[in-house]
Amino acid sequence: MTTRQGANAARNGGLRNDATMFGGGSTGSEFGDYEAEKERCKAFLRTFSVGQEAREAGQKRQRRGAAAAASAGSARLKYMDMLQEVANRARTVLEISLDDVLSLSSLVQGDYDYEETWDDDHAPGHDEWSRLAKAAKKNTQRYLSLFADAADEVMPLPTSAFEGTEDVFDVLMRQRQYAEEDNEQLRATYGLSASETAAQQAGTGGEGSQPQAPAPVADSANRIPKELLRRYEVRIRPPTGGAGLGLGSAKARMSSAVPLREVKAASIGQLVTVRGIATKVSEVKPLLSVGTYTCESCGYEIYQEITGTAYMPLCECPSGRCKINNDAGKLLFQTRGSKFVKFQEIKLQEPADEVPVGNIPRTMTVHLKGELCRSIRPGDAVAVAGGFLPV
């Protein structure tokens, strides 16, 4: 039986407990300034360097009396290099390690007990980086989107030509971006919402008003979702910590795993790590991520973002033009214009050493998406990290 550790299912794979239906877990700061958090994520992506990580690790080992110090080496921007590969279409996964975030914090650099001070925000050693790592662990889904938005904004330009010719996705994206630019120009020109602009076009200016020139409708219903424009997926690898174990080590990953039967409602929305044995692995199937529809009446392209495994297809066009014309607007689903991701479902059973005497082993459903598919086989003993979500 093989062991595969650290199969990160955050964002591109979730942990779902069939028995957990109610309850609310801690989600970090309830009234957090997410714009400021996104700027902090951008700063981390721009400035984190491998040389800096090595120097800090070496200083920490020196303080602990280690014989050999890590060589500083030349600093290399780890995540900007990853984003450059993404821009050059040589990489499809951007994995954010919370160990890297914590390596910038005085909580790890100083002589503090990591395990004792992690849960105490007011303990000595806590700073913006340790709070960022903790918030990302407590509110995983939100920080996945924040890191994805930050990566979009700091994405460098391609430095090499793409291999092969343009695919269908490139042609559709170019056409959609042209339409989006026209849409934004209309919004900036008229300074009106979709309904107000449509009313102006229909000539409903009120009694005694002068006829106004028709204005094209700039509708937000056909705004392109960011998920549709991305050619990469974002993951968050949980912090391993562990005094004396070393950040990122395999032993630390296994030691940070929570017994499967201890994952309860308080963990909803958080990044958790569990150990178990894969008892059932489904076939890889396509999962709709963004659905695209075309309206027969107004010709608009309507987008529907899907966050789960089930959804209700749109039936009526939500654009302002169809509402003003009192037209239902029949929508036609565009398969080639939609975005699908690979999807696989795993049944994870708790290991025998975690089952109390006289109890039946519990199971958990694990959803793998994207490049994580086919990373687990039936019978594998695995440690899986992902966002714990109710079904």
pLDDT of amino acid 33: 83
Which of 100, 114, 86 minimizes the C-alpha distance to 44? Answer: 100
pLDDT of amino acid 320: 79
pLDDT of amino acid 369: 94
pLDDT reading at 194 higher than 60: no
pLDDT reading at 209 higher than 50: no
Contact 234, 147 (CB under 8 A): yes
Q: How confident is the model at residue 349 (pLDDT cuts 50, 70, 90)?
A: very high
In the Cβ-directed half-sphere of 211, how many Cα atoms lie within 13 Å? Answer: 2
Looking at per-residue pLDDT, the higher value among 351 and 120 belongs to 351
Helix (H, G, I), strand (E, B) or coil at 217: coil
Which tens digit of pLDDT belongs to each residue from 265-300? 999 999 999 999 999 999 999 999 999 999 888 888
pLDDT reading at 226 higher than 70: yes
Q: Which long-range contacts (CB under 8 A, 24 or more apart) does 304-310 make?
A: 305/225, 305/227, 309/343, 309/367
The burial class, CB within 10 Å (0-12 / 13-18 / 19+), for 114 is buried
Ordered alpha helix ranges (H), the chain: 34-47, 50-63, 78-87, 98-103, 106-109, 114-117, 128-138, 140-154, 168-190, 194-202, 226-229, 250-255, 320-324
pLDDT of amino acid 152: 93
Q: Which residues pair with 363 in a beta bridge?
A: 349
Cβ-based neighbour number of residue 47 at 10 Å: 13
Full-model pTM:
0.74
User: Residue type at 171?
Assistant: V
State how far the Cα of 108 lies from the Cα of 2, in Å rounded to an integer. 33
Cβ-based neighbour number of residue 91 at 10 Å: 16
Strands 381-389, 13-16: parallel, antiparallel or unpaired by DSSP?
Answer: parallel
Contact 368, 346 (CB under 8 A): yes
Average pLDDT of the segment spanning 2-29: 42
Which tens digit of pLDDT belongs to each residue from 321-337? 888 888 888 899 999 88
Percentage with pLDDT > 70 across the chain: 65
Which of 224, 175, 216 minimizes the C-alpha distance to 194? Answer: 216
Percentage with pLDDT > 90 across the chain: 35
